[in-house]
Structure 1
Amino acid sequence: MINQDIGGNRMPADGIGTAALARFDRDILAPPGLGHVVTAVGNDLVFSFAPHTEETAGFLAMFPGATVTADDIIAAHLQWAARARAHGAKAYAATIAPYGGTDMYSPEGDKAREHV
């Protein structure tokens, strides 16, 4: 089992580090013995829809760029699944965890999370 987890990471867009989608071949497909891929990524939505307040401004400045939408995340998941299957592995996607009660919460972000 290989766990390629980086806190604050994003899926289709760079953030704190290179986007997970850009690292997929190297980090997931390249190691020998791949049988299953489980994807549990959703920070893009949190950061894209977070309220910009004094408390969040400094943190959110680390995640520039266009808003990542639910459709962007769905497309990235489908791309991962297709790439994993082409490599002979089964692909699974985990539910994006709720984040209500945090400084990053917004109803729009939660709606996008639920859509995915």
Structure 2
Amino acid sequence: MQLPLVLLSLLLFGYAVRQAIRQRHLRRAGVRTTGVVSHVLTSQTHHPVVRFVDEQRRGHEFLIRFFRAGSLPVGDRVPVVYLPGEPASARIALASQRTLAVGGPGLVGVLLAATAVAEMCR
């Protein structure tokens, strides 16, 4: 039982590190603009969809995967950041989103690693 937990925790740590590197790169080299929540996709969860215009004045949309339902109503203006020439890399530029993207998987990874260590010490 410990090996799958250890592997999953390593995978989550790797994902958190990857997200941290990506967030840092976006913060340093990203193009900042403002987007508007155009609609919300609703299934079992709510996913706001943000529309923004890039440097070439082309419209783009992206989905915010992890966000509290109702916290971004349709029509809200939100800060957006994306890599130059790569509008598909767009992310919402809020500290709470950066923290969630890095801290969420990192915290779950720590908890799984602690569980694996506790299991090994039995």
- Structure with greater Cα Rg: 2
With normalisation by structure 1, the TM-score equals: 0.31
Of Structure 1 and Structure 2, which has the larger fraction of its residues in strand? 2
